[in-house]
Amino acid sequence: MNRASNPILKALLFKKYDSYQKYNETFPKTWHIKDAKGIVPNEVCKQYSLFESMVASHQDPIYALIVMIPCEYLWAWLAEQLAPTSSKNLYASWIAGNNDPSGAYAIGNFLIEYQKENPIDEKLATQFYTQAITYEYQNFNTALNS
């Protein structure tokens, strides 16, 4: 985040960081678990996390947004498919909180505008995007193979 020189990019990255921090503080209560130790990520999830961390830490900050896009769009789409829901549904707060693609569109629109003044390596961006969407697929696919 601090490496981003573009003020809008920096603001977007800080906004995402803040939302993840808030989620990390509230998810145990939301999901009725003691703490993060109650979650055991599978191997695909670990690899995905390492991949995103590598991109965010070692690549130009714009690529951090690119690896977020598959998740941003997919989760909004998934929530839309599950809505509307009853307030008694365990996942109601998740569905309501993710049933809005505006964050994904904001990132996508920003990327289009950003590239007009700041050309990026499109081949590298495509590789990162493809790897991120592949991890999303693999994560969902593990549920079918469990």
What's the rounded mean pLDDT across residues 19-48? 90
Dist. CA 27–CA 24, nearest whole Å: 6
What's the rounded mean pLDDT across residues 93-120? 94
Q: What is the pLDDT of residue 141?
A: 93
Least confident of 43-47, 70-74, 91-95, 124-128: 91-95
**Residue 112, CA distances (Å) to 37, 74, 89, 109 in order:** 39, 19, 37, 5
What is the tens place of the pLDDT at every residue in 123-142? 999 999 999 999 999 999 99
pLDDT band of 143, cuts 50, 70, 90 = confident
Residue written as token pair 């145990």: 28
pLDDT band of 2, cuts 50, 70, 90 = confident
What's the rounded mean pLDDT across residues 3-30? 91
The closest alpha carbon to 15, from 99, 76, 102, belongs to: 102
pLDDT band of 1, cuts 50, 70, 90 = low
Look over the chain and give the mean of its residue pLDDT values, rounded to a whole number: 93
32: alpha, beta or left, given left = phi > 0 and alpha = psi -120 to 50? left
Q: Which residue has the higher pLDDT, 143 or 21?
A: 21
Dist. CA 107–CA 115, nearest whole Å: 12
What is the tens place of the pLDDT at every residue in 39-67? 899 999 999 999 999 999 999 999 999 99
**Residue 134, CA distances (Å) to 45, 97, 121, 145 in order:** 11, 24, 20, 16
